[in-house]
Copies of this chain bind each other. A is one copy, B any other.
Amino acid sequence: MSAEPGTVRPGGRTARVRAAVLRAAGDVLAEQGFDQLDLADIARRAEVGKTTVYRRWGSVTGLVADLLVDMAEQSSPREETGSVLGDLRANASLVQRTLADPRQGALFRAVIAAAACDERTAAALRRFYEVRVDEWAPCVEQAVARGELPAGTDARAVVRAVSAPLYYGLLTSGVVPDAAAAERAARAAHAAAVAGVYVTE
């Protein structure tokens, strides 16, 4: 049993091929959604042999899983405004702008759909959001330390609460969130956190 292709000689051409294929995969996912995905089409766009794509990724979901690993590596740093509400607003705005962007929004919908169909992709998606939530949780922890939120508040739960309504509208009703929706999301999470809804133990 040999290692996966691309792991022994990951540099040079191999890296270029990976980058080109992932870029093409992102484009096609954003344009068409993941079920109409033809690996041969991606190979053509990436100017790469069809055989290579099948050998290295095997299936559509495998390709999406690798794309998610790539996306998780590009983490956007959090902003700090001095108050929880401001920080949550910044986070909500970031999520909102991401989902409202034609390419990014469609890409996220496609990736989440893919994760619902394949366990490996689901694991990659879970990891992606873990990274994102970990990035922003310190804002809430600092707020607890400053006394703005009750002690014992689950920081990660608050961060997830900000994203939830924005994702929910997009996924279940196709509603692209606007700035007002971001503001509501931030204020709602803040109000709930102040009320002690996310206090554990």
Contacts and interface: CB of A to CB of B under 8 A. Distances in A.
Interface stretch (A1-9, A11-19, A121-129): A121-129
B168 A33 contact: no
A122 B184 CA distance: 25
A116 B110 contact: yes
A65 to B, nearest CB: 14
Contacts of A10: none
Contact of A116 (B60, B113, B189, B197): B113
Nearest to A170: B116
Interface of A: 33-36, 60-61, 109-110, 112-118, 122, 125-126, 129-130, 157, 160-161, 163-165, 167-169, 171-174, 184, 187-189, 191-192, 194-195, 197-198
Q: Which 3 A-B residue pairings sit nearest by Cβ, starting from the closest?
A: A188-B192, A164-B168, A113-B113
